[in-house]
């Protein structure tokens, strides 16, 4: 999981360095490279790449593509740490959207934690002049689309091969990215070609290791490491791009992550209590 988050963090740095390249052009390279790797894996395992839940697979890929494009735009136009922080609102939207799509329940305390996270966004916007309203809304839209994409992934659990789900995201991203690229192409220069290719390689490394982590260990024990991404983003932003944050902006970042983490631990604790009660009832 640590290797996964680090791979995605390096990918974000490369996207930041490619601020002169159109967002959809980067989406194309990111998804095309990863797509080829997915096809290779599925071919070796003898798995049909088309899957059987076509509508949900397409929906997952569509929302994922929109989310990545919007995220790339915010990385190019915001401090790296802030863009990543706003993207970390996605677990909040995932939970809320699950109320309607998966019929899951949200407890009263969770609404408080969500409000805490959104108050952090307002603090960040209010005290960081580098963030425009438009960029903030694009960042939130990215997190919302991630929420829809994650719900599609959850609805496909045990229904589709993991790599088939990953492939459809990359496939749709490649098609949409290529279509948009025809109307807005900027030729990369020198090392920029390497950066673009590495965004796809690092994406695949991140996703494969994420999948392995979730398969080898309980989700609750590994997903917490996902929040290392914030630390990486703040560190890389400071070292590589000279990004600085005052205490008020850092307070907003802490509120966003604090609300998400409190919801995470509260939800995990509730599931543990339910499991223990179920076990006790069975023994009785």
pLDDT in tens, 15-72: 999 999 999 999 999 999 999 999 999 999 999 999 889 999 999 999 999 999 999 9
What's the predicted TM-score (pTM) here? 0.87
pLDDT at 110: 87
What's the confidence (pLDDT) of residue 282? 44
How many structural domains does the chain have? 1
Domain interval for residue 262: 2-283
Q: For residues 168 and 176, what is the distance between their CA atoms, to the nearest angstrom?
A: 12
Q: How far apart are CA 96 and CA 84, in angstroms?
A: 20
Determine which of 128-132, 174-178, 211-215 has the lowest per-residue pLDDT on average. Answer: 211-215
Q: At what angle do helices 80-87 and 108-127 cross, to 10 degrees?
A: 160
pLDDT 10s digits, 200-242: 999 888 877 877 776 566 555 566 677 788 889 999 999 999 9
> Do 75 and 131 form a contact (C-beta atoms < 8 A)?
no
Q: Which residues of 202-216 are buried (b: 16+ CB within 10 A; e: fewer)?
A: bbbbbbbbbeebbee
Kind and range of the H or E run holding 23: helix 23-45
């Amino acid at each position: 999981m640590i290797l996964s988050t680090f791979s995605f963090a390096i990918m974000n740095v490369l996207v930041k360095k490619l601020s002169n390249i159109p967002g959809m052009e980067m989406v194309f390279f990111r998804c095309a490279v990863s797509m080829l790797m997915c096809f290779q894996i599925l071919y070796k395992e003898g798995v049909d790449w088309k899957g059987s839940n076509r509508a949900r697979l397409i929906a997952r890929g569509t929302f994922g593509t929109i989310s990545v494009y919007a995220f790339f735009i915010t990385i190019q136009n915001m401090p790296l740490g802030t863009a990543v922080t706003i993207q970390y609102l996605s677990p909040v939207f995932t939970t809320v959207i699950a109320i309607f799509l998966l019929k899951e329940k949200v407890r009263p305390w969770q609404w408080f934690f969500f409000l805490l996270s959104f108050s952090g966004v307002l603090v960040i916007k209010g005290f960081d002049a580098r963030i425009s309203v438009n960029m903030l809304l694009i960042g939130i839209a990215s997190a919302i689309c991630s929420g829809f994409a994650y719900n599609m992934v959850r609805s496909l659990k045990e229904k589709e091969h993991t790599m088939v789900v990953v492939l459809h995201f990359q496939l749709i991203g490649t098609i949409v990215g290529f279509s948009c690229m025809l109307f807005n192409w900027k030729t990369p220069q020198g090392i920029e070609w390497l950066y673009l290719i590495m965004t796809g390689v690092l994406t695949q490394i991140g996703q494969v290791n994420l999948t392995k982590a979730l398969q080898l260990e309980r989700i609750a024990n590994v997903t917490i490491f996902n929040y290392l991404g914030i630390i990486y983003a703040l560190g890389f932003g400071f070292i590589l791009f000279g990004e600085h944050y005052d205490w008020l902006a850092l307070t907003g970042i802490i509120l966003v992550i604090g609300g998400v983490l409190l919801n995470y631990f509260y939800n995990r604790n509730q599931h543990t209590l339910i499991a223990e009660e179920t076990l006790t009832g069975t023994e009785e």
